[in-house]
Structure 1
Amino acid sequence: MHQEYQAFETLKRHQATLHNTVELASGVRLAAWSNKHDCITQENPSHHTLSLYTADGYESYHKTRSGWQNGGGPDRFCIMPKESVSSWDIRDDLSFVHLYCTDAHLRQLVEQTWDRSPAAINVEECIFDENPQITLLYRQFLLRCQWQEPSDQLILSSAANMLMTHMLTRYTQLQWALPQIRGGLAPVVLKRVVEFIQNHLAQPLQLADLASLAGLSEFHFARMFRQSTGIAPHQFVMQARIEHAEALLRSSTMPLIDIALECGFSSASHFSHRFKAMRGVTPSILRQEQKI
């Protein structure tokens, strides 16, 4: 179901340029923007916004009770909670990425992760702050993915969940420690999940789908899966896609685009990029070497 986000729509009506956006299966939205010489007021949105400055932003001013103050720059982040009012004066270049989520998304994450249901979730406002984990999740995971690429949907949803979990544990009144996970998946459950992955490599697999197969929350599944396999679910899936692609390259004459599609990549170029990153050569070079 499509989710409307007021902050997203407000920026579209101003001078901000939208470079990329994707709505995940959960309804959480990501958006990459740039802006310059613009004044914006976000009024009482019904959702939360987690923003990371990715470039510039040194002349971004936020209105406070004591006047306009700046403190922006690359890797500074802002949290704008629901029902808050924030005014901004963007006086020079700024590039940033937003994650939009609702109370419903956070509550579902809390209930799945801690098996508890808080009376309320009070998200703190943060302006021009720094947090290495937020920067890492954005830059190493979200910004390195192709948002429209089906094969990247698993890592996008995983990183978005980790961002929201971090926000819950650091920037709400809950401050709950993450549950300790001991032990991996039961062998029969792991076998069921692995077989599902192998049989659905052409599809945009989601963390929620894999967790549902195991009868676990996404949080518990991801950690138990890593205990069992030594790698995260998104790494396992990408490894499986590349292994299947390599087998097809070595044993068939299928066109590269057909192999890409069968392994869950939407284009030959993205398939080639991922394959080279993991195997050191492009699919076409590997196929040529087979003929020698």
Structure 2
Amino acid sequence: MHTDSHSPSQPTPGSRDIVESLQAAGVAPRQLLELDSGRALAQWQNRRGEVHYERPRHHALSIYTRAGDQARRLVNGQVASTGFPGAVCLFPAGSQSLWQIGGHFEFAHLYFNGLDLARCAEQTWDCEPDQVRLAELYHGNDKVLAQAGQLLALSDWQAPGQAMAMDHLAQWLLLQVVSRYSTVQKAAPEVTGQLSQRYRRLLQERIEAELERPLTLADMAGWVNLSPYHFARLFRATFGCAPYQYVQERRLTRARDQLRRPGSKITAIALACGFSDPSQFARAFRKRFGLTPSAYRSQAAQRR
């Protein structure tokens, strides 16, 4: 069955029907990370009870990250499918499903909407967005997505620079969903070569100018008129690292340079370099340079 990629009405940011259904059943998210353009990632654990997804206004990808053999989908009162570790489910907007949970299991969700789906297909494969439909999938066996689920489960979503890395992963997951489980049904196109010198300079200048604000993969891809998929691959081929790694390195390098100058408070330096949490900044700085920001500043002062 395929369900229309465009729902009649979109939920407001931060309000998602599947999240509300889980919470109504007494389930609380272990982690929830809001991403760009209304997308979000969530990590859940459930133990028992029933959950009913009634025509959500958004799409959701679910990956079982631990156990799941006591999670069952019911149709007309009968067990239609049973979960397992690594099982993949896909809930298009407008779909309906009833779940019976008989034991502990953990799962990750990616939430996205019809616009995400259409934009991904149009930008990556030049498909007509109105023709993109998403399939329902219940307890599918997809080793690639199962491995991505383990990466989500093992990652510290609150780590310094992690939000951008998770946004990158969410874009990749969306691409996998469209290429495998929609009416597009095409492998991701091969990307070769590198960014032009003009685009390379443009990216370096724009990133430096906007380090203090949150940057997403879609933001940077838009600067050079590329889809996030093509941009990520060309960026890595050009700069030798992923976009989020490059941005993190530039932020930390700028912070190091500013710490050498007396006067500015460390908290102000963290904010000016794109770190909203001073403690995250301190951890990232120490991991990169082997010293806390305050210790580095003291050492730099002694050298003057």
C-alpha contact 1:150 1:203 (8 A) present in aligned 2: no
Q: 1:2 to 1:41 in 2, by over 3 A?
A: closer
Tell me which amino acid in the other structure corresponds to 2:126. D
3-state DSSP of counterpart to 1:154:
helix
- Tell me which of the two structures has the higher relative contact order, counting C-alpha pairs closer than 8 angstroms and 6 or more residues apart: 2
Does residue 86 (structure 1) correspond to residue 86 (structure 2)? The answer is: no
- The match for 1:129 among 137, 140, 144 is 140
C-alpha contact 2:260 2:297 (8 A) present in aligned 1: yes
Name which of structure 1's ranges 137-146 and 105-114 shifts more when overlaid on structure 2: 137-146
Residues 44-100 of structure 1: per-residue CA shift (max 9 Å, x gap): 223321112233434222224693243333x33322223322111112223322111
Does residue 70 (structure 1) correspond to residue 108 (structure 2)? The answer is: no
Q: Could you say which residue in structure 1 is the equivalent of 2:12?
A: 2
C-alpha contact 1:76 1:128 (8 A) present in aligned 2: yes
- The match for 1:108 among 119, 124, 146 is 119
Q: Could you say which residue in structure 2 is the equivalent of 1:15?
A: 26
Q: 1:256 to 1:140 in 2, by over 3 A?
A: farther
- The match for 2:230 among 216, 220, 229 is 220
Distance in 1 between residues matched to 2:24 and 2:252, nearest whole Å? 42
Q: Could you say which residue in structure 2 is the equivalent of 1:165?
A: 175
User: What is the TM-score with the length of structure 2 in the denominator?
Assistant: 0.84
Name which of structure 1's ranges 233-242 and 152-161 shifts more when overlaid on structure 2: 152-161
Unaligned runs of 5+ in 2: 1-10
Q: Could you say which residue in structure 2 is the equivalent of 1:270?
A: 280
Q: Output aligned runs, 1:1-292, within 5 Å.
A: 2-3=12-13, 4-64=15-75, 67-68=78-79, 69-73=81-85, 75-117=86-128, 120-140=131-151, 144-146=155-157, 151-252=161-262, 254-290=264-300, 291=302
Tell me which amino acid in the other structure corresponds to 1:183. G
Distance in 1 between residues matched to 2:204 and 2:160, nearest whole Å? 19
Q: 1:122 to 1:116 in 2, by over 3 A?
A: closer
Tell me which amino acid in the other structure corresponds to 2:82. N
Tell me which amino acid in the other structure corresponds to 1:70. T
Q: 1:111 to 1:150 in 2, by over 3 A?
A: farther
Distance in 1 between residues matched to 2:221 and 2:133, nearest whole Å? 27
3-state DSSP of counterpart to 1:45:
coil
Q: 1:36 to 1:140 in 2, by over 3 A?
A: closer
C-alpha contact 1:153 1:205 (8 A) present in aligned 2: no
C-alpha contact 1:150 1:266 (8 A) present in aligned 2: no
C-alpha contact 1:23 1:29 (8 A) present in aligned 2: yes
Q: 1:219 to 1:142 in 2, by over 3 A?
A: farther
3-state DSSP of counterpart to 2:38:
coil
C-alpha contact 1:15 1:36 (8 A) present in aligned 2: no
Name which of structure 1's ranges 118-127 and 43-52 shifts more when overlaid on structure 2: 118-127
Say what the alpha-carbon RMSD is for the aligned residues.
Answer: 2.7
Distance in 2 between residues matched to 1:137 and 1:56, nearest whole Å? 16
Distance in 1 between residues matched to 2:153 and 2:104, nearest whole Å? 22
